[in-house]
Every structure is written in structure tokens, then in C-alpha cells.
Amino acid sequence: MLSFAAFNDKIRSEMVTSGKKMKDIVIAAFYKFIPLDDFEALREPLLEKMQQLGLKGTIILAEEGINGSFAGTRESMAEYYQFLRRHCCFEDLQFRETFDDKNPFEKAKVKLRKEIVTLGIEGIDPRTSAGEYLSAQEWHELIQNPNVVVVDTRNHYEYTLGTFQNAVNPDTENFRDFPDYVEKHLMDKKDKTIAMFCTGGIRCEKSTAYLKSKGFEKVYHLQGGIIQYLQAKQNDDDSLWQGYCFVFDDRVAIDQNLNRVYPQLPQD
């Protein structure tokens, strides 16, 4: 396999992006952990409004909250933001935006699930027990400390495409595997400072809450995830991100300047 340094050099020299095209499609990701006793009743109105506005993407509803990623024109997205925020529980929803020249989703979907991000462990509540948030700059400074254990909470294929300097790969196939990784590889590091990250922040909420439930005390996570860090460090030469960031839509991945790319994975 290529080293991260070699892979990063390859990416910088052979980048293929859509940066020269007009990016008039807004792609928004959001989530909120909040008890939703009536989450089933929300499905139809949320889906109908998406379809009415010509939006595409997926929203997941569960008793523990809402999670979604969808895209459309600026006008349609702004109207849907207002629509969501009029719900009594969603008035403070924050939307993390990126942009592209075409919609990366095929259709509008609203799904009902047991969890909005599936860890598979009962009783984990990020509202009360998640780790401490770090801004992009605070994160940038913390992970340069050699005594900090930096953990990528994403899956192996995401890590292979790109990650932060010195990050540990849990080598998971899906997020449900993460507790097993903790039991086997992190339980002897309770005295360490643990810094965790994911794409947009939601997996970090649950993974840090899980660590707190296991007795870890010095647990931190990157607020807004990799996307927020890339936005803060866009065009900066000192970025600690190496490679591409996998995204769960037809773009597949974005580069350090948030442009769509067409990567070739490093081969074993």
C-alpha cells in the first residue's frame, strides 16, 4: 500500500475536480439528538415537502432524533430549512453546507430507524454524556501532541481514502463494530487523552458518549467533523488532513478544498 505521504503527494499532483464549473447545488448535512416520541408521524410531511421543492437526499428519523443529508437549489434549501425549524424540536438545527454543480442524490427519502446512526448499544445518550467539543483550530493544535491518541471513528474504506495525520485506524467494516474495537484496543488507554473524529460529527457524538460510559474521562471530538475542519483550513498549507474525505453520496469523495474528486484507492 502507498504510504500516506506518497498518497497525499499523488493526490495533490493528480487532482481531478469539478472546481471550474458553477456550483449552484447546495448539499446540506445535519443531525440532532433529541427525544422524538412522534417520529413516525413526521415522515410523510418531511417527505412531501422535499418532493414539493424538488430536493433529493435522505433523512433518517428515530426516537433518539433526526439525521439527514440532502441537496437542491439555494432557494429550495432555504425554504426547507425554515420548514424544519418550524417544528418545535428543530428550531436550532444547524446545517453544514458544501456545493457542487449537480445533485449527488437520486431521489428524496425519509426513513424510520431504531437509531439515527447505528452503534447497536442501548442506553448511549450523546445529549448527556458526549465528549468535549473542539473547534477546528483547537483540534488542529491538540492532535499535534504526540501523547494524544487520535482515533478515526469511520470505517476502514473511509480511512484508506484519507485521514488525519497520526490517526489510528480501528479497521471496522461498519459503525456497529466500533464497540468491539474499543474493548480490544482502547480499554488500556483510559489514562490517555482521546481525540475522535468522523465525517460530519454524528458518529463522534455516539462514540465519545460510549467511551464516557466505559469510564474514559479525557475524551474530545472535532465539532462538525472533517467537513468543518476542511472548511476552516481551506487553502491553508498547514492542514493536517491527508488524502480525500469520503462522503455518502454520488460525489464519493471531496478534496481538501471541498471539491468533488474521482479517486483511485491505494492498492494493498
Q: What is the pLDDT of residue 12?
A: 42
Rg of the chain, C-alpha, whole Å:
18
- The CA distance from 80 to 99, in Å, is 17
- The CA distance from 230 to 213, in Å, is 30
Residues of the chain with pLDDT under 50: 1-5, 7-20
Q: What sign does the dihedral 226-250-203-173 (CA atoms) show?
A: negative
For the segment 240-256, what is each residue's pLDDT rounded down to a tens digit? 999 999 998 888 899 99
Identical topology for domains 25-112 and 120-261? no
For the segment 67-115, what is each residue's pLDDT rounded down to a tens digit? 999 999 999 999 999 999 998 789 999 999 999 999 999 999 999 999 9
Q: What is the pLDDT of residue 1?
A: 42
Count CB-CB contacts under 10 A for residue 58. 18
H helix or E strand, kind and range, residue 196: strand 193-197
Q: What is the pLDDT of residue 162?
A: 97
Q: What sign does the dihedral 66-69-74-75 (CA atoms) show?
A: negative
Q: What sign does the dihedral 227-231-235-237 (CA atoms) show?
A: negative
Fold of 25-112: Alpha-Beta Plaits (3.30.70)
Only one residue has cell 485521514, namely 163
Q: What is the pLDDT of residue 250?
A: 87
H helix or E strand, kind and range, residue 122: none
- The CA distance from 111 to 44, in Å, is 10
- The CA distance from 21 to 151, in Å, is 35
Q: Is 110 helix (H, G, I), strand (E, B) or coil?
A: strand
Fold of 120-261: Oxidized Rhodanese; domain 1 (3.40.250)
Domain ranges (residues) in the chain: 25-112, 120-261
| Burial (CB count within 10 angstroms: exposed 0-12, middle 13-18, buried 19+), residue 234 | exposed
* Cβ-proximal residues to 12 (8 Å cutoff; 6+ apart), any chain: none
* pTM as predicted: 0.86
Which residues form the catalytic set? 198
Q: What is the 3-state secondary structure (H, E, C) of 104-143?
A: CCCCEEEEECCCCCCCCCCCCCHHHHCCEEECHHHHHHHC
- The CA distance from 4 to 163, in Å, is 9
